[in-house]
Amino acid sequence: MNDPANAEYRIAHLKERLAAEELGELGIRIENRGSSVSVMGTVPTAHCRSELLRTVNDELVGETVHFDVVVADPAAPDHPEEVA
């Protein structure tokens, strides 16, 4: 990021956009990490992850963005949990 003040502004705008859309309920963190932006968290579906990545890339064109966003596994366990 060449201009940290501009980067913070763009990140704030992205957070506002996410809050206004369906993605607003997600527990996503977006942080300025010097020369890049980190997007971290867990989403309920692959569709949500795709939409999040698209939105972030739309808002932060030209920035280096690192995604650490995983899809929660909503499936029931296939075996019982053993408790010691």
* Strand spans (E) along 1-84: 27-32, 37-43, 65-71
Res. 83: pLDDT tops 90: no
pLDDT value of position 13: 92
Supply 7's token pair: 């980067």
Q: Domains along the chain?
A: 4-71 (3.30.1340.30)
Contacting residues for 66 by C-beta, under 8 A, at least 6 apart: 33, 36, 37, 38, 39
Torsion, Cα of 33, 34, 36, 39 (10° steps): 10
Closest residue by Cα to residue 65 from 44, 25, 35, 45: 35
Residue-wise pLDDT tens digits, 30-53: 999 888 999 999 888 888 899 999
